[in-house]
Structure 1
Amino acid sequence: MMPTPTQLAALDAADPLAHARARFRLPPGVIYLDGNSLGPLPAALPERLAQTVAGEWGDGLIRSWNDAGWIDLPVTLGAAIAPLVGAEPAAVVACDSVSLNLFKLASAALALRPGRRTILMEASDFPTDAYVMQGLARLAGVTLKRVPRAELVTALDADVALLLLSHAHYVTAEVHDMAAMSAAAHAVGALTLWDLSHSAGALVVQLDADGIDFAVGCGYKFLNGGPGAPAFAYLARRHWETALPALTGWMGHAAPFDFAADFAPAAGARRLLTGTPPILAMRALEAGVATFADIDIAQAEAKSRQLVALFAAGAATLPGVTVDAPPQGRHGAHVIIRHPEARRVMTALIARGVIGDMRPPDAMRFGFPALTTRFADVGTALAALQAVLDSGEWQEERFAPRGMVS
């Protein structure tokens, strides 16, 4: 059923998170439904970054490593991210990329489970996670085993050292029961590593309470840290003294400025740090994380779920498309709409000011971050999609595929 403007206006009027939209700078005339790939610009970020450049760097110069707290940014920023993922502050550090953090934590897991020769993953998880594990498997002489979601639990056996899963699937939006899957892994002696790239800032996550061993997350999606923003890594307290990644660096040293010849790991999650932190990118991520001040993540998850349901129901009434029905119960903050010419249709839709993304061959993905998306945006996006489909304008030469896939 297509939602009515009256219905959507009433939902916006009652939205307890409506005030959060003012924390972002969104271009006029644009409905942005791709925050699950790149979060929008926090309104406070340009001034904060200018202050970092002109004041901290320009005036403070090298003194700002201490005076402006640059040297501790991975830790202080990690502590700010921690409440968003249900972790104690010292268990999270902001650093590197998701891929590098996956490598570091997975290698630490293998070292903690000597004699076990298998890393277990879901077959359809985000490909780069598998690419990283394939490289690690070659180096460590272990096997990467990838099975369908329904076979994960039965595939857990005494040879599995690590279970690596995405909490929210990047296509289907299916959400694993994190506590149950971790318990199943622990029951056979395996460790768990969770990719929170489509969860942090969108879904309620309880890393400490659910008994998670390790986790990584993305800074540039729902956390709004800017293109290529630093990622974050989580190390459960019980592993603080024993987990040692294969990739180590001076910022993870117990005394980095002693310049000792041999590596001695810092206490806690700080041992996961490697090289010098990228301060400008860290400041940008800091501004993105600050947009969650006083935000109830449970309310954010509930709002995104409602936005997805309204959009999916409306899209299902349109000609020429099929909708991947959102999973029952919990699911991520995006939905997939399919069309044989998805790239052309999405290009035409973007030309009308509605921005989503597409994945070959036929998927159009629309994200609904709770802090920036209004219920009225659902109606505007559906109207634009209907106009594109009804007019057939997507067939015009100007919408022929060119360049990279957005």
Structure 2
Amino acid sequence: MKSANELLITQLNERKASGLLRETKCVDDLIDFCSNDYLGLARNRELGEAMAKNYSAWLGQQPLETPINGATGSRLISGHSKLVDIFETQCAAMHQAEAALLFSSGYEANVGLIAALAQKDHVIFCDKLLHASLIDGLRLSAAERRIFKHNDLGDLMHLLEQYPSTTTKWVVVESIYSMDGDQAPLAELIALREKYQFELIVDEAHAGGLYGSKGAGLGAAFPEIFARVVTFGKAWGNAGAIVLGSAILKQYLINFARPFIYSTAPTPEHVHHLLTAMPFVQQAEEARFRLKSNIDLFRKNINASSWGPSETAIQTFFVSGNEAIRTVAKAAQDAGYAVKPIVYPTVPKGKERIRITLTSQTKESDIIGLIQTLESHA
């Protein structure tokens, strides 16, 4: 019998042989075209200094018995604080929601939300291109799962019509999809909601901070949405996530969302940094404008048919075949650009691509240079 380590080595060797072995790699020395730092806040020195100053001032005001280095436990044991209450209240107001619940990561928020809401005898309808965190939540749920073609409302309606009005139904989408950069038809989904009697859940990971009034997200325009998830590791330049919805939803998740119940709460420093970042996000109109200008510039300068149709910060350059896309990505990396190939089976065969992300800090000359490099090697 093989030892445990031998079993692991075998699986790693199989993945390596198929060209799918994942490895960590630092790209700090390359021009950024792969991070989600859309507004440049992860690199913003003014924000960093404000975080240090504000947290230092808060530390000086705390009595000796106050935890300052760690939360000390889950939110339901000892990890809750007035600081978290303040952040959740302000975050709910920013996103035009009744209530908000803080999670340590977007993954935890999505898994906890979906697994807790969709129960036995429910049906959950999910877009084919949902993020892995939502899919894992679906796997943990006891509900029946139906998958509809990406952004295909006709296919969704066909599936919805197979269930009586008495069935509890959930529809899960992303407002902006992480791999193709296209948008969900939120207005049309809201129009279908009453006819087919379902509740809508929207992941706003790639829209929070970028769209809506003061970065409230695309979903803020639709109060009918049952739950929204906004993550802080992208446009906010930080980490963590918030679930937005009704006060009842918040209370429900406190009682039934296992990642919330059993995870140590975010540290006081983390929560304080999020409080400091919030006004920076709200006031980032110039950065949002620069990002839009960079997207427009990018779209105006592409020439090859290999480009996807996205009008968002996420752009795609398609080259069929794992080895072929890796070769093109390597050429771009050698030219100084931080890009990563997305290969099968992460994406369907024939849809292998380089996923490019633009930020408010992306330089015009770098945009032109990357486009020319990719198009010349395709």
Normalised by the length of structure 2, the TM-score is 0.69
Structure 1 residue 351 displacement after superposition: 4.4
Q: 1:282 and 1:201, CA in 2 relative to 1: closer, same or farther beyond 3 A?
A: same
Within a 5 Å distance, the mapping from 1:93-108 to structure 2 comes to 93-108=101-116
Question: Are residue 292 (structure 1) and residue 285 (structure 2) matched?
Answer: no
Q: 1:290 and 1:360, CA in 2 relative to 1: closer, same or farther beyond 3 A?
A: farther
Question: Are residue 144 (structure 1) and residue 145 (structure 2) matched?
Answer: yes
Q: 1:120 and 1:59, CA in 2 relative to 1: closer, same or farther beyond 3 A?
A: same
Distance (Å, rounded) in 2 between the aligned partners of 1:61 and 1:356? 47
3-state secondary structure, aligned to 1:221: coil
Structure 1 residue 303 displacement after superposition: 5.3
Structure 1 residue 243 displacement after superposition: 6.5
Distance (Å, rounded) in 2 between the aligned partners of 1:82 and 1:93? 9
Query: Which residue of the other structure, out of 344, 360, 363, is the alignment partner of 2:353?
Result: 363
Query: Which residue of the other structure, out of 294, 306, 316, is the alignment partner of 1:322?
Result: 306
Q: 1:384 and 1:153, CA in 2 relative to 1: closer, same or farther beyond 3 A?
A: same
Query: Which residue of the other structure, out of 103, 128, 131, is the alignment partner of 1:126?
Result: 131
Corresponding pairs, count? 319
Q: 1:231 and 1:146, CA in 2 relative to 1: closer, same or farther beyond 3 A?
A: same
Structure 1 residue 221 displacement after superposition: 0.9
Aligned identity (percent) is 12
Distance (Å, rounded) in 1 between the aligned partners of 2:183 and 2:232? 20
Name 1:16's counterpart in structure 2.
none
Asked whether the 8 Å contact 2:127–2:148 carries over to 1, the reply is yes
Question: Are residue 195 (structure 1) and residue 191 (structure 2) matched?
Answer: no
Q: 1:335 and 1:388, CA in 2 relative to 1: closer, same or farther beyond 3 A?
A: closer
Name 2:34's counterpart in structure 1.
34
Q: 1:188 and 1:389, CA in 2 relative to 1: closer, same or farther beyond 3 A?
A: closer
Q: 1:293 and 1:190, CA in 2 relative to 1: closer, same or farther beyond 3 A?
A: closer
3-state secondary structure, aligned to 2:118: helix
Structure 1 residue 52 displacement after superposition: 7.4
Distance (Å, rounded) in 2 between the aligned partners of 1:146 and 1:307? 34
Query: Which residue of the other structure, out of 298, 308, 311, is the alignment partner of 2:295?
Result: 308
Asked whether the 8 Å contact 2:170–2:199 carries over to 1, the reply is yes
Question: Are residue 383 (structure 1) and residue 369 (structure 2) matched?
Answer: yes
Question: Are residue 346 (structure 1) and residue 351 (structure 2) matched?
Answer: no
Distance (Å, rounded) in 2 between the aligned partners of 1:63 and 1:174? 49
3-state secondary structure, aligned to 1:119: strand
Distance (Å, rounded) in 1 between the aligned partners of 2:172 and 2:306? 31
Distance (Å, rounded) in 2 between the aligned partners of 1:117 and 1:286? 37
- Structure 1, unaligned stretches of length 5 or more? 1-26, 253-272, 395-406
Q: 1:110 and 1:386, CA in 2 relative to 1: closer, same or farther beyond 3 A?
A: closer
Name 2:169's counterpart in structure 1.
161
Asked whether the 8 Å contact 1:315–1:323 carries over to 2, the reply is yes
- Which residue type is aligned with residue 380 of structure 1? D
Distance (Å, rounded) in 2 between the aligned partners of 1:120 and 1:384? 38
Q: 1:162 and 1:126, CA in 2 relative to 1: closer, same or farther beyond 3 A?
A: same
- Structure 2, unaligned stretches of length 5 or more? 1-26, 72-79, 213-217, 345-351
Normalised by the length of structure 1, the TM-score is 0.65
Structure 1 residue 132 displacement after superposition: 1.8
- Which residue type is aligned with residue 184 of structure 1? L
Q: 1:81 and 1:336, CA in 2 relative to 1: closer, same or farther beyond 3 A?
A: farther
Distance (Å, rounded) in 1 between the aligned partners of 2:254 and 2:193? 20
3-state secondary structure, aligned to 2:229: strand
Question: Are residue 214 (structure 1) and residue 227 (structure 2) matched?
Answer: yes
Asked whether the 8 Å contact 2:37–2:234 carries over to 1, the reply is yes
Deviation track 1:143-202 (CA, whole Å, cap 9, x = no partner) reads 111110311233224335211111111122221232431342343332221111111012
Structure 1 residue 316 displacement after superposition: 2.2
3-state secondary structure, aligned to 1:93: strand
Q: 1:290 and 1:247, CA in 2 relative to 1: closer, same or farther beyond 3 A?
A: same
Asked whether the 8 Å contact 2:219–2:228 carries over to 1, the reply is no
Question: Are residue 92 (structure 1) and residue 100 (structure 2) matched?
Answer: yes
Name 2:10's counterpart in structure 1.
none
Deviation track 1:348-400 (CA, whole Å, cap 9, x = no partner) reads 4344443344311531122223xx335xx23323224424764x6x9xxxxxx
Q: 1:348 and 1:79, CA in 2 relative to 1: closer, same or farther beyond 3 A?
A: farther
Deviation track 1:253-311 (CA, whole Å, cap 9, x = no partner) reads xxxxxxxxxxxxxxxxxxxx9643323333443444342242349x93x6545432431
Query: Which residue of the other structure, out of 257, 269, 294, is the alignment partner of 1:280?
Result: 269
3-state secondary structure, aligned to 1:307: helix
- Which residue type is aligned with residue 147 of structure 1? F
Q: 1:62 and 1:98, CA in 2 relative to 1: closer, same or farther beyond 3 A?
A: farther
Asked whether the 8 Å contact 2:180–2:308 carries over to 1, the reply is yes
